[in-house]
Protein backbone atom coordinates (compact mmCIF):
# COMPACT_ATOMS: atom_id res chain seq x y z
CA UNK A 1 0.00 0.00 0.00
CA UNK A 2 2.74 2.42 0.93
CA UNK A 3 4.60 1.91 -2.34
CA UNK A 4 1.42 2.36 -4.37
CA UNK A 5 0.64 5.61 -2.52
CA UNK A 6 4.21 6.89 -2.95
CA UNK A 7 4.19 6.11 -6.67
CA UNK A 8 0.86 7.90 -7.12
CA UNK A 9 2.22 10.94 -5.29
CA UNK A 10 5.36 10.93 -7.42
CA UNK A 11 3.18 10.66 -10.54
CA UNK A 12 1.38 13.83 -9.37
CA UNK A 13 4.71 15.63 -9.07
CA UNK A 14 5.21 15.34 -5.32
CA UNK A 15 8.62 15.08 -3.68
CA UNK A 16 8.60 11.97 -1.53
CA UNK A 17 10.77 10.30 1.08
CA UNK A 18 10.00 6.57 1.25
CA UNK A 19 11.12 4.66 4.34
CA UNK A 20 10.81 1.00 5.25
CA UNK A 21 12.65 -1.73 7.09
CA UNK A 22 12.94 -3.68 3.83
CA UNK A 23 15.51 -2.98 1.09
CA UNK A 24 14.68 -0.39 -1.55
CA UNK A 25 12.05 -1.76 -3.97
CA UNK A 26 12.88 -1.80 -7.66
CA UNK A 27 9.62 -0.27 -8.84
CA UNK A 28 9.68 3.25 -7.41
CA UNK A 29 8.52 5.65 -10.11
CA UNK A 30 11.28 7.76 -11.70
CA UNK A 31 9.11 10.89 -11.90
CA UNK A 32 7.82 13.47 -12.70
CA UNK A 33 8.14 14.05 -8.95
CA UNK A 34 11.32 13.36 -6.98
CA UNK A 35 12.04 10.77 -4.32
CA UNK A 36 14.65 9.17 -2.16
CA UNK A 37 14.57 5.98 -0.08
CA UNK A 38 15.79 5.25 3.41
CA UNK A 39 16.01 1.73 4.82
CA UNK A 40 15.40 1.50 8.53
CA UNK A 41 13.05 0.75 11.40
CA UNK A 42 10.23 3.27 11.76
CA UNK A 43 9.76 2.27 15.38
CA UNK A 44 13.27 3.62 16.06
CA UNK A 45 13.16 7.25 17.21
CA UNK A 46 16.56 8.25 15.86
CA UNK A 47 15.89 6.78 12.41
CA UNK A 48 12.55 8.58 12.13
CA UNK A 49 14.05 11.88 13.31
CA UNK A 50 16.85 11.66 10.77
CA UNK A 51 14.49 10.70 7.93
CA UNK A 52 12.22 13.68 8.63
CA UNK A 53 15.20 16.01 8.94
CA UNK A 54 16.65 14.78 5.64
CA UNK A 55 13.28 15.20 3.94
CA UNK A 56 13.06 18.84 5.00
CA UNK A 57 16.69 19.50 4.10
CA UNK A 58 16.27 17.88 0.67
CA UNK A 59 12.89 19.26 -0.35
CA UNK A 60 12.66 22.42 1.75
CA UNK A 61 9.43 21.63 3.62
CA UNK A 62 7.09 18.88 4.79
CA UNK A 63 3.38 18.90 3.91
CA UNK A 64 2.22 15.27 4.12
CA UNK A 65 2.72 12.21 6.26
CA UNK A 66 1.42 8.76 5.33
CA UNK A 67 2.11 5.77 7.55
CA UNK A 68 1.10 2.31 6.35
CA UNK A 69 3.43 0.36 8.66
CA UNK A 70 1.97 -2.84 10.04
CA UNK A 71 2.72 -6.48 10.79
CA UNK A 72 0.16 -9.26 10.97
CA UNK A 73 1.74 -12.39 12.44
CA UNK A 74 -0.94 -15.08 12.30
CA UNK A 75 1.40 -17.77 13.56
CA UNK A 76 2.57 -15.78 16.62
CA UNK A 77 -0.03 -13.11 17.43
CA UNK A 78 -2.71 -14.95 19.38
CA UNK A 79 -5.27 -14.45 22.12
CA UNK A 80 -4.06 -12.25 24.97
CA UNK A 81 -4.07 -15.29 27.28
CA UNK A 82 -1.72 -17.22 25.00
CA UNK A 83 0.49 -14.71 23.20
CA UNK A 84 4.17 -14.47 24.08
CA UNK A 85 4.68 -11.06 25.67
CA UNK A 86 7.72 -10.37 23.51
CA UNK A 87 5.55 -10.84 20.42
CA UNK A 88 2.85 -8.59 21.90
CA UNK A 89 5.41 -5.85 22.58
CA UNK A 90 6.97 -6.09 19.12
CA UNK A 91 3.63 -5.97 17.29
CA UNK A 92 2.51 -2.94 19.30
CA UNK A 93 5.90 -1.29 18.84
CA UNK A 94 5.82 -1.84 15.08
CA UNK A 95 2.18 -0.99 14.46
CA UNK A 96 1.59 1.79 16.98
CA UNK A 97 4.92 3.28 18.06
CA UNK A 98 5.92 3.79 14.41
CA UNK A 99 2.77 5.87 13.88
CA UNK A 100 3.42 7.90 17.01
CA UNK A 101 7.06 8.55 16.12
CA UNK A 102 6.43 9.58 12.52
CA UNK A 103 3.73 12.01 13.67
CA UNK A 104 5.88 13.20 16.58
CA UNK A 105 8.63 14.31 14.20
CA UNK A 106 6.54 15.27 11.16
CA UNK A 107 4.18 17.66 12.98
CA UNK A 108 6.89 20.12 14.12
CA UNK A 109 8.29 20.09 10.57
CA UNK A 110 4.83 20.84 9.16
CA UNK A 111 4.36 23.68 11.63
CA UNK A 112 7.76 25.11 10.72
CA UNK A 113 6.94 24.87 7.01
CA UNK A 114 3.76 26.90 7.44
CA UNK A 115 0.55 26.32 5.52
CA UNK A 116 -0.62 23.32 7.52
CA UNK A 117 -0.37 19.71 6.49
CA UNK A 118 -2.21 16.43 6.10
CA UNK A 119 -1.61 13.13 7.89
CA UNK A 120 -3.09 9.77 6.91
CA UNK A 121 -2.52 6.83 9.24
CA UNK A 122 -3.52 3.28 8.41
CA UNK A 123 -5.54 1.20 10.84
CA UNK A 124 -7.73 -1.80 9.88
CA UNK A 125 -11.36 -2.86 9.99
CA UNK A 126 -10.09 -5.40 12.53
CA UNK A 127 -9.97 -2.51 15.00
CA UNK A 128 -13.79 -2.40 14.86
CA UNK A 129 -14.45 -5.99 15.87
CA UNK A 130 -13.17 -9.07 17.61
CA UNK A 131 -12.24 -12.40 16.05
CA UNK A 132 -12.48 -16.00 17.23
CA UNK A 133 -9.09 -16.53 15.56
CA UNK A 134 -7.65 -13.74 17.65
CA UNK A 135 -4.71 -11.57 16.73
CA UNK A 136 -5.10 -9.42 19.82
CA UNK A 137 -1.89 -7.39 19.58
CA UNK A 138 -2.72 -6.48 15.99
CA UNK A 139 -6.31 -5.50 16.77
CA UNK A 140 -5.38 -3.50 19.86
CA UNK A 141 -2.59 -1.61 18.10
CA UNK A 142 -4.83 -0.78 15.14
CA UNK A 143 -7.55 0.47 17.48
CA UNK A 144 -5.03 2.72 19.22
CA UNK A 145 -4.06 4.26 15.88
CA UNK A 146 -7.66 5.45 15.44
CA UNK A 147 -7.56 7.14 18.84
CA UNK A 148 -4.14 8.65 18.17
CA UNK A 149 -5.29 10.20 14.91
CA UNK A 150 -8.31 11.84 16.54
CA UNK A 151 -6.09 13.33 19.23
CA UNK A 152 -3.70 14.70 16.61
CA UNK A 153 -6.62 16.17 14.66
CA UNK A 154 -7.89 18.11 17.68
CA UNK A 155 -4.51 19.18 19.03
CA UNK A 156 -3.22 20.63 15.78
CA UNK A 157 -6.35 21.85 14.03
CA UNK A 158 -5.38 25.46 14.73
CA UNK A 159 -2.19 24.83 12.75
CA UNK A 160 -4.35 23.60 9.85
CA UNK A 161 -2.83 20.14 10.22
CA UNK A 162 -5.43 17.50 9.42
CA UNK A 163 -5.25 13.88 10.55
CA UNK A 164 -7.42 11.04 9.29
CA UNK A 165 -7.34 7.26 9.32
CA UNK A 166 -7.99 4.69 6.60
CA UNK A 167 -9.42 1.33 7.67
CA UNK A 168 -8.66 -1.16 4.90
CA UNK A 169 -10.63 -4.35 4.57
CA UNK A 170 -9.43 -7.47 2.80
CA UNK A 171 -6.81 -6.13 0.39
CA UNK A 172 -4.51 -8.11 -1.87
CA UNK A 173 -0.96 -7.10 -0.99
CA UNK A 174 2.30 -8.86 -0.07
CA UNK A 175 1.05 -9.05 3.55
CA UNK A 176 -1.84 -11.20 2.33
CA UNK A 177 0.06 -13.35 -0.15
CA UNK A 178 -1.66 -16.42 1.32
CA UNK A 179 -4.80 -15.34 -0.57
CA UNK A 180 -3.18 -15.46 -3.99
CA UNK A 181 -4.95 -18.64 -5.12
CA UNK A 182 -8.19 -17.86 -3.27
CA UNK A 183 -9.13 -14.41 -4.55
CA UNK A 184 -12.38 -15.46 -6.20
CA UNK A 185 -13.45 -17.54 -3.22
CA UNK A 186 -12.77 -14.73 -0.73
CA UNK A 187 -14.38 -12.19 -3.01
CA UNK A 188 -17.70 -14.02 -2.76
CA UNK A 189 -17.81 -13.07 0.93
CA UNK A 190 -17.38 -9.34 0.18
CA UNK A 191 -20.50 -7.37 -0.85
CA UNK A 192 -18.75 -5.76 -3.83
CA UNK A 193 -17.63 -9.20 -4.95
CA UNK A 194 -13.85 -8.86 -4.92
CA UNK A 195 -10.80 -8.31 -2.79
CA UNK A 196 -9.56 -4.77 -2.48
CA UNK A 197 -6.40 -3.65 -4.23
CA UNK A 198 -3.58 -1.43 -3.07
CA UNK A 199 -4.83 1.06 -5.66
CA UNK A 200 -8.19 1.22 -3.86
CA UNK A 201 -6.38 2.21 -0.69
CA UNK A 202 -4.10 4.64 -2.52
CA UNK A 203 -7.07 6.39 -4.11
CA UNK A 204 -8.63 6.94 -0.68
CA UNK A 205 -5.34 8.16 0.75
CA UNK A 206 -4.67 10.70 -2.00
CA UNK A 207 -8.19 12.07 -1.56
CA UNK A 208 -7.60 12.61 2.18
CA UNK A 209 -4.28 14.32 1.48
CA UNK A 210 -5.78 16.60 -1.14
CA UNK A 211 -7.44 19.98 -0.87
CA UNK A 212 -10.71 18.24 -1.76
CA UNK A 213 -10.63 16.94 1.82
CA UNK A 214 -9.71 20.31 3.35
CA UNK A 215 -12.70 20.21 5.76
CA UNK A 216 -12.15 16.59 6.81
CA UNK A 217 -10.14 15.81 9.92
CA UNK A 218 -10.37 13.43 12.85
CA UNK A 219 -12.40 10.91 10.89
CA UNK A 220 -12.09 7.36 9.60
CA UNK A 221 -12.54 6.20 6.03
CA UNK A 222 -13.49 2.53 5.73
CA UNK A 223 -12.31 1.02 2.44
CA UNK A 224 -13.54 -2.56 2.64
CA UNK A 225 -15.99 -3.32 -0.16
CA UNK A 226 -18.89 -3.29 2.27
CA UNK A 227 -17.71 -5.93 4.75
CA UNK A 228 -18.40 -3.90 7.88
CA UNK A 229 -21.82 -2.82 6.58
CA UNK A 230 -23.08 -6.39 6.92
CA UNK A 231 -24.59 -7.59 10.21
Any idea which residues carry the catalytic annotation? Answer: 138
Q: Provide the b/e sequence for 23-62 (b: ≥16 CB within 10 Å).
A: eeeeeeeeeebebbebeebbbbeebbeebbeebbeebeeb
Q: List the beta bridge partners of residue 34.
A: 15
Q: CA–CA distance from 164 to each of 89, 93, 134, 142 (Å)? A: 25, 21, 26, 13
How far is 101 from 46, CA to CA, in rounded Å? Answer: 10
Extended beta strands in 143-210, E state: 161-168, 171-172, 196-197
How far is 31 from 9, CA to CA, in rounded Å? Answer: 10
Q: How do beta strands 161-168 and 15-20 pair?
A: unpaired
How far is 126 from 130, CA to CA, in rounded Å? Answer: 7
Residues 6+ apart with CB under 8 A from 126: 135, 138, 139, 142
Amino acid sequence: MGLNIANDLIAEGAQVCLADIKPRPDDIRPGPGASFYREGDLSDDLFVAEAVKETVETFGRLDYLVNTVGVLWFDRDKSLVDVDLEIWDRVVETNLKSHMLTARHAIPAMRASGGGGAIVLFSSIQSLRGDRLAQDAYGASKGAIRSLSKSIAIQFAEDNIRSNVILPGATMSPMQARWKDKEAEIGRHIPLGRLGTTQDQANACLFLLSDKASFITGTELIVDGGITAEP
